[in-house]
Structure 1
Amino acid sequence: MAPGAAVGYDPLMRSPPLACAVLAALLAACAAPSAFRCPAQGGPPWRELSTDHLVLRTDLPAREASALAGRLERMRVAVGAALFEGAPPAPGQVEVIAFRTAEEYRPFAPEGAAGYYLRYAGGPPRIVLSGALQPWQRALLAHELTHHFLASVFHRQPRWLAEGLAVYMESLGDDAPGSAAVTVGAPPPARLDRARTRPVPVRELLAWDGGPGLRPALDYYAASWVLVHWLAHRRPAAFAELQRRLAAGAEPAAAWRAALPEHDPDVPGALEALDDVLAEYVRAPIETQRRMVEVPIAVGYFERPVPPAEIHAIRLVLWQHGPDKGRAALEREVAEALGEDAAHPIALQFRAALDGTDPAPLARAAVAAHPDDPRAWTFLATALPSPDDAAAREAAYRRAAELAPRNAAAVHNLAAELLAQGRSGEALPHARRAVKLAPWSPPVLAAYAAVLSDLGQCAAALAAQRRAMEALPERASAESRAELAAGLGAYKAQCRTGLRAAGGAP
């Protein structure tokens, strides 16, 4: 995604608008989805349970929904408490969609995924799963919630540290409802076995960026966990210093050398000696010390029903994450949504894409019917691509940001529009706020870097672009990595040019 590209706003998904390539994929297949009935057709009701930090939307029965909300909130508290003493809370709300049955869930999930986590597009992260949480699913949630916290604390995150800490927190999945505490620190057997049988040299691990490596990603995960475990249990002071420097934005290699000078990669044999230390560490009985983390026994929340049109909107914004379902199925879903609400902004956006018609009239109809819905204003902005519409487009993005000030995508879109108009000074506070709201989002970070670069702040732009690259998911496309790398190269060249102009060394 280009640094100045808009990120589509939706309070459920916060994903990019339906692109032509994605739409083509949706229409290409012919498999029919499993039967679904919304409440208006006799299906189970959907409810929304909200806390200060979580929003759960589900068709689970009331008691099961309440139990799930409580378990998710306990895990969120446990992760934050286990990671950092007095760390600031992660920004925003984590959004959870829990389908009542696996049959309802599968049409909207990647093959083989019993739960997945979306946290890269441009807004608060989102968890999608079937309602019953198995222990391994809880471990997955603890892992991903750890990433949620890390992104808000560390200005720089080498991949090995991010994944090592996330694996370290997986033991929080052993949560027993009704207990006032959970434990953290138990070695995960599968990770430990892999670390013993498929070790990764530390030099290779420190260079891992999450892209395709020399070995399977699971090997890097296990090796990352071993290094974090060894640091936490054998070198806690050095580990704390390393984290302090990374939280302050230090370059990872420099932070490593400062915290662990005896393992300086530039000293011949230093990292190889650490390889030997870690190999002996995993062969010996691993420290199983656990510490207790207090969590709330009960959680308060606000509950309200989810309107039928919004249930269809949930399904539509998740559509592309599941198997191909064919044009007919998508047509039916859109028609049912519009049957519930003829001007629903998400349904109309899909309607325009399906028909290949001018979306502007539909977007104006959505705004007229839902003037307080930021999704309608974002739809209108994206429906006005002409340079002649710049003022109207800006006004629409600005209204969306006013209606959704805590949504990073809405704030980012306004910053991107101002940057595209050559008004980077005005874009800066919005781009900065978007990063504070979604420090885990590569497009948000990249847009912030672009604004800084346009203002001549090449060093700050470099730092933001590096954070964007570090935030890329492992499965990010080669094109995405190349695009961010090209931006990094451009900012480096900008800094060199500025240094020469100032009379410094080339």
Structure 2
Amino acid sequence: MGIRLGLLGLALTLFSGCTASRALCPAEGGRPWREVRSTHFRVRTNLEEQAAAKSAVELEEFRRALLLAWGAGFDPPGTVDVIVLSNPRDLEEFTDARYAGFAGQTPDGPRMVMTGGGGYLLADTTGDKETQAHELAHYLSAYALLRQPRWVSEGLASYLQTVTIRPSDRNVVLGRASPALLQYVRAHGWLTLDELWQWDGKTNQSTAELQLHYASSWLWVHYLINEHGDRFSAFQAQLARGEDPQRAFAAAFQGDTSYPAALANYVRLGRYAISTQPLPPVPTQTQTRALEPADVHVIRALLFTQTPGDVPREERQRKAALELEQALKEDPTHVETQRMQAETLDKAERLKLARVMVEQHPEDGRAWDLLATALQAEGDMSAPQEQARQRAAKLLPDSPSAQNGLAWYYVLTEQPQKGLAPARRALWLMPGDPIILNTQTALLFQTGRCNEAVAMGRRTLDMFRDGFSDEIRQTFKRIYATQEANCVPAPAASSTQSQ
């Protein structure tokens, strides 16, 4: 399942133009907003209805094109949250800079913010979608490769970010060189593989250091796919089985050290192959519903707090608070608004609000999830929290965070057998999340499945990257070492159970 010829939170293409458009709710003079759900995407947008539905299908095509890197039969689960503004000028209100889009993470997976135009979301160019392709590639590759050293993770995502679907024949083009990254390595050089293997242990790098590591990772992956495809595929096959990355690489290349010799010539000549494959059929069914004014104010609050730029945090929070205030005027019981408001409350007020939400929305898993979280914050690990966690997991079967919340409750209360099922589901839904991986690791240690726990712990440490300090990574490393030393193996019948 390896790629052959077949940045979290980074900002996308800069946009220049006048500031004349605002993504307001219709009650304030804005365009109508709607939510479109397809098989793998939830799209909230102020595009016209036909363009909105078309954009959801285009995203399905985009996803399917990326998946070709691992073979036509690869089709993992999961839903991606997408906000699409009608044009790039709509985004200018939320940032001091002029971005055409960005991508980030939520507890349930990536959130991509994009801008449309003329109803055609993904044009036959790379500049308007490379950030989304990079982030989506990270998300999808976690389903394919259980272990990922950072240079492989970033190199593959950068390799895939140039994916294009040609409108003329609907063929997918994979493997084009990134002009910006190629220009960078030609101008600044690149790191050796030995240096890139050390990247996993580095944090707090300068912008220049990060640029060099990202560009070098892309170069090595692009080179190895083109010049040593069989060996690189064998390496990925071992990563897909969760094997140790450095041992897997050594096994794939079998002591051959000649592969770096031609890299300089490869950079100088710039000759490489690309893959052109027909785009397989994608699901085209969509469901559309109109969004209420309160829904739109929540989206605006999210954009104020999450859009990149140098606007001070206090100013962002002030504007977001005004949006949430207006949302509650529109709908005093709006669940998502209340959840966001709860983040600003102290523990007692949050618990009080959560109880009210459960009374108002007994069939909404988000309300139960907030109640469970509020109870945990109060130190209440009794039956009411378990019941709230169970209710949230049942009402939100496709939420990795809700499933993981239930599993983690059983870690904390030392009931690991109860936690295995929701932990497995969370891992199936989002296998690249270190918080979810950590829950699975803890449960395996608690059930005495020591060898599996050690392997899962190493996989977890692989994923503590962007957004996590080296101190956090070292803390978990010490925790796993202690758990390994104290792990009591389960009886043979239990230790061979499959996950």
8 Å Cα contact 1:89/1:149 also seen in 2: no
Whether 1:494 and 2:473 are equivalent positions in the alignment is no
Residue of 472, 478, 496 corresponding to 1:483: 472
| Equivalent AA in structure 1 for residue 91 of structure 2 | Y
8 Å Cα contact 2:126/2:162 also seen in 1: no
Residue of 160, 165, 178 corresponding to 2:156: 165
Residue of structure 2 equivalent to 1:89: 75
Give the CA deviation at 1:84.
1.3
C-alpha separation between the residues in 1 aligned to 2:260 and 2:198?
15
C-alpha separation between the residues in 1 aligned to 2:216 and 2:278?
25
1:19-34 equivalence runs, <5 A: none
Residue of structure 2 equivalent to 1:446: 438
Q: Is the alpha carbon distance of 1:473 and 1:490 closer, same or farther for their aligned partners in structure 2, counting shifts above 3 Å? A: closer
Residue of structure 2 equivalent to 1:341: 331
8 Å Cα contact 2:67/2:140 also seen in 1: yes
RMSD: 2.8
Whether 1:243 and 2:236 are equivalent positions in the alignment is yes
1:57-206 equivalence runs, <5 A: 57-81=44-68, 83-106=69-92, 113-119=99-105, 121-132=106-117, 135-172=126-163, 174-177=164-167, 179-197=169-187, 198-206=189-197
Residue of structure 1 equivalent to 2:218: 225
Aligned residues: 454
Residue of 37, 42, 51 corresponding to 1:50: 37
Give the CA deviation at 1:69.
2.2
Give the CA deviation at 1:408.
0.2
Q: Secondary structure at the match of 1:98?
A: strand
Residue of 329, 339, 362 corresponding to 1:371: 362
Residue of structure 2 equivalent to 1:310: 295
C-alpha separation between the residues in 1 aligned to 2:162 and 2:342?
46
Q: Secondary structure at the match of 2:128?
A: helix
> What are the superposed Cα offsets for residues 208-245 of structure 1, whole Å, 9 maximum, x if unpaired?
22844585222222222222222222222212211111
TM-score by length of 2: 0.83
Q: Secondary structure at the match of 2:114?
A: strand
Give the CA deviation at 1:443.
1.2
8 Å Cα contact 2:138/2:153 also seen in 1: yes
Q: Is the alpha carbon distance of 1:457 and 1:499 closer, same or farther for their aligned partners in structure 2, counting shifts above 3 Å? A: closer
C-alpha separation between the residues in 2 aligned to 1:383 and 1:366?
12
C-alpha separation between the residues in 2 aligned to 1:194 and 1:164?
14
8 Å Cα contact 1:239/1:259 also seen in 2: yes
C-alpha separation between the residues in 1 aligned to 2:126 and 2:160?
13
Q: Is the alpha carbon distance of 1:125 and 1:352 closer, same or farther for their aligned partners in structure 2, counting shifts above 3 Å? A: closer
1:267-416 equivalence runs, <5 A: 270=257, 273-296=258-281, 299-322=284-307, 323=311, 324=313, 325=315, 328-354=318-344, 356=346, 358-385=349-376, 386-388=378-380, 390-416=382-408
| Equivalent AA in structure 1 for residue 250 of structure 2 | R
C-alpha separation between the residues in 1 aligned to 2:481 and 2:96?
38
C-alpha separation between the residues in 1 aligned to 2:407 and 2:302?
24
Give the CA deviation at 1:414.
0.8
In structure 2, the gaps of 5 or more residues are 1-20, 492-499
Q: Is the alpha carbon distance of 1:330 and 1:186 closer, same or farther for their aligned partners in structure 2, counting shifts above 3 Å? A: closer
Which of the pair has the greater relative contact order for Cα pairs under 8 Å at 6+ separation?
A: 1
8 Å Cα contact 1:109/1:321 also seen in 2: no
> What are the superposed Cα offsets for residues 151-206 of structure 1, whole Å, 9 maximum, x if unpaired?
0111111122222222222221x434464212112212221122233211121122
In structure 1, the gaps of 5 or more residues are 1-33, 264-269
> Higher mean Cα deviation, 376-385 or 308-317?
308-317
Q: Is the alpha carbon distance of 1:146 and 1:291 closer, same or farther for their aligned partners in structure 2, counting shifts above 3 Å? A: same
Q: Is the alpha carbon distance of 1:369 and 1:408 closer, same or farther for their aligned partners in structure 2, counting shifts above 3 Å? A: same
8 Å Cα contact 2:408/2:439 also seen in 1: yes
> Higher mean Cα deviation, 456-465 or 71-80?
456-465
Residue of structure 1 equivalent to 2:494: none
> What are the superposed Cα offsets for residues 445-469 of structure 1, whole Å, 9 maximum, x if unpaired?
1222122222233432332233233
C-alpha separation between the residues in 1 aligned to 2:407 and 2:421?
8
> What are the superposed Cα offsets for residues 319-338 of structure 1, whole Å, 9 maximum, x if unpaired?
43244335653442222111
C-alpha separation between the residues in 1 aligned to 2:90 and 2:410?
41
C-alpha separation between the residues in 2 aligned to 1:465 and 1:64?
45
Give the CA deviation at 1:415.
0.9
> Higher mean Cα deviation, 490-499 or 92-101?
490-499
Q: Is the alpha carbon distance of 1:408 and 1:259 closer, same or farther for their aligned partners in structure 2, counting shifts above 3 Å? A: same
Give the CA deviation at 1:497.
4.9
C-alpha separation between the residues in 2 aligned to 1:86 and 1:245?
20
Q: Is the alpha carbon distance of 1:331 and 1:483 closer, same or farther for their aligned partners in structure 2, counting shifts above 3 Å? A: closer
Give the CA deviation at 1:362.
2.0
Give the CA deviation at 1:499.
9.2
Whether 1:422 and 2:400 are equivalent positions in the alignment is no
C-alpha separation between the residues in 1 aligned to 2:79 and 2:290?
19
Q: Is the alpha carbon distance of 1:297 and 1:362 closer, same or farther for their aligned partners in structure 2, counting shifts above 3 Å? A: closer
| Equivalent AA in structure 2 for residue 282 of structure 1 | V
TM-score by length of 1: 0.81
Q: Is the alpha carbon distance of 1:353 and 1:160 closer, same or farther for their aligned partners in structure 2, counting shifts above 3 Å? A: closer
Q: Secondary structure at the match of 2:183?
A: helix
C-alpha separation between the residues in 2 aligned to 1:281 and 1:311?
50
Q: Secondary structure at the match of 2:32?
A: coil
Identity %: 31
Q: Secondary structure at the match of 1:383?
A: helix
| Equivalent AA in structure 2 for residue 382 of structure 1 | T
Give the CA deviation at 1:368.
2.0
8 Å Cα contact 1:123/1:408 also seen in 2: yes
| Equivalent AA in structure 1 for residue 223 of structure 2 | W
Q: Is the alpha carbon distance of 1:485 and 1:87 closer, same or farther for their aligned partners in structure 2, counting shifts above 3 Å? A: farther
